Amino acid sequence: MNPPPRRAPRHGPAPVDSLASLVGATPLVRLRRIGADLPGVRIYAKCEFANPGGSVKDRPALRMIEAALLDGRLGRGRTLVDSTSGNTGVAYAWICAALGIPCALVMPSNVSAARKRIAQAFGAELVFSDPLEGSDGAIRKVRALVDAEPDRWFYPDQYGNEENPRAHEQGTAVEIAEALDGAVAAFAAGIGTGGTVMGTSRGLRRLAPGVRCFAVEPAEPLHGLEGLKHMASSIVPAIYREQELDGKLEMPTAEGWAMAERLGREEGLQVGHSSGAAVAGALALARRMAEAGERGNVVTVLPDRADRYFEPRRWDRRTSW
């Protein structure tokens, strides 16, 4: 009797039913050169560009959509619509495409060409708001659309939806704490909607006792750190609660851009300017710790890759007979 055929060992992940199930479980990478001169302090970066849609916004977008499908707010032919400066829009677009949900996005007309074209490639309808009004103008425009036709739209409202920070509290924070066995001395993340910094901070306070949590904010109202908000001059998101944090780190645009360039040259990480600002904030915290004789791990989040900010070559489909 012949023995049964041996099954080859599995190398790599198991198959999945939907691309949406691959959101999360992103790598945590130690920065080897940036901050290397600080004794006893290590800086780690959570590589959220490794999500299927290429950004940290995949987490809250998926969570908000799944919650709305579960309780019936989404479905029955309704179109998802929300305001976005780019990354959340791309996340909505690809997740809606994967799940068969119509999607419309309201964004300032000056967001990067790459983000516009990526969202359109997933079939999303784009509605543009005044570029001079920034993300606040997009918020006002989407609210007007929903008020005019409430039965047509599902409006998740990423700035006011508690599923946004909850995605990070129950996902991002858990992954960071598990990777470092709870040894997180400080955490820093940029403020956009506030979801990443609020949710991850809440989760880390539970899983990494003694952690100090900081928001990284543009230093100027008119800044070049796309995706980040200067709170004093903006509509403050309902999910952002500054009193829960240990403080804010003001970041000049030039410093965020310079750090993004350093990350490419010194760490092999081609990331966006919001990532540069976040790492510059983490480095500032690490220096404070080293100067005070403290030791420990400082963690930050890299929201996206640099290709979101590049002008892509455009191919036009042509048919010849």
Catalytic residue numbers?
A: 57, 274
Name the nearest CA neighbour of 140 among 192, 101, 181, 83: 83
In three-state form (DSSP H/G/I as H, E/B as E, the rest C), the secondary structure along 289-317 is: HHHCCCCEEEEEEECEEHHHHCCCCCCCC
What is the residue whose two structure tokens read 């040894």?
183
Q: How far apart are CA 291 and CA 271, in angstroms?
A: 28
Tokens of 90: 């791309």
One-letter amino acid at 74 equals L
Name 45's Cβ contacts closer than 8 Å, sequence gap at least 6.
28, 29, 31, 269, 275, 278, 279, 282, 299, 300, 301, 302
Q: In the beta sheet, which residues pair with residue 42?
A: 297
CB of 28 closer than 8 Å to CB of 299: yes
